[in-house]
A and B are shown apart, each in its own frame.
Chain A
Amino acid sequence: MSTQVAIEINEEPTENGFLELSEQELFELIDTGAREGLGMTGEEYLRRLREGTIERTGPNGYLAHLSMLAALLDY
């Protein structure tokens, strides 16, 4: 079990319910998520996704999270 802390999101409705990221920022978010959630670099994750050797979903929720971020980069 991880030690990640629960963070409640209690924001008021705002126009900026969007987090707009550049391509580089998306790569960085994928890299951070892959390291934290799957124990690999973002580069390795994207390579394995391209090769079809890693699932898009699974027991570890980071699989779906990273898959969805990768889809924003057309992977």
Chain B
Amino acid sequence: MPLIAKTPREAFHTFQDHLNRTLNKVLTPSRLRFIVRSARQEKTSLAFFDARSRPVAVRLPSSFWYLSLRQDLQAVPGKEGYELRTLQYAYRIQRTPSIQDEAEVRFEYVSHELDPSARWCRHHVQFHRDYQNVRDSFSPNKLHIPTGSVTVEDVIRFLITDLGVPPLIETWDGELKKSEEQFRVWTSRDVPA
């Protein structure tokens, strides 16, 4: 059953609480916050912000990695209430807090609604420019290497298992599976196990 809410704000809050609960339990005490336009509240942008509302990559505890998460969402009215659609996401794993600095790896998605003219793979991964032209005519910071839809749980799992970020709890894998299952129920999408 998809996530159904009476108002856009309720839908956003439910999703925000879900992600923050998973992040805070497994990876980081930092919390995602929303920006919303007061006049039209059916769209929102979810990210880590500093006190001046600037987007930041947060340092992961006991690690030299920084994480920036960004989700742009739209609440779409349906028969029973509002459902959530993802307009865009950008997950960045980097070595500094500034999102101005290039990430080591970034998983991105841009919806057709936001950019109808894009011809590249909308779900893709890109890598730091230091890998550019390591092999002739193959630049991983420019190529839109296709992926499936990448979840926040996927990114957390990658940080822990491949980049060695220590999880906050031993049962992190089970927590991520539960979190993914909830996302699967809400969105009726397939999430890789």
Contact = CB atoms under 8 A, between A and B. Distances in A.
Interface of A: 1-2, 4-11, 13, 17-23, 26, 29, 32-33, 36-37, 52, 56-57, 59-62, 64-65, 67-69, 71-74
A20 B44 CA distance: 10
A73 B14 CA distance: 23
Contact of A69 (B34, B45, B98): B45
A27 B48 CA distance: 20
A8 B30 CA distance: 6
Interface string B100-144: 111100101010001101000000001011000000000001000
B51 A64 contact: no
Contacts, number: 154
A31 B99 CA distance: 16
B11 interface: no
A9 B33 contact: yes
Contacts of A60: 99-100, 102
Contact of B30 (A10, A29, A69): A10
B31 interface: yes
B54 A5 contact: no
B43 interface: yes
B30 A67 contact: no
Q: Name which of A13, A29, A32, A67 has the most chain B CB atoms within 10 A of its CB.
A: A67
B36 interface: yes
Given A1-B96, A59-B103, A68 B37 contact: no
23 contacts: A4-B96, A6-B56, A6-B59, A7-B97, A10-B30, A11-B33, A18-B34, A19-B36, A19-B49, A20-B41, A22-B39, A37-B100, A56-B114, A59-B103, A61-B55, A61-B90, A61-B100, A62-B55, A64-B88, A64-B108, A68-B72, A71-B72, A71-B87
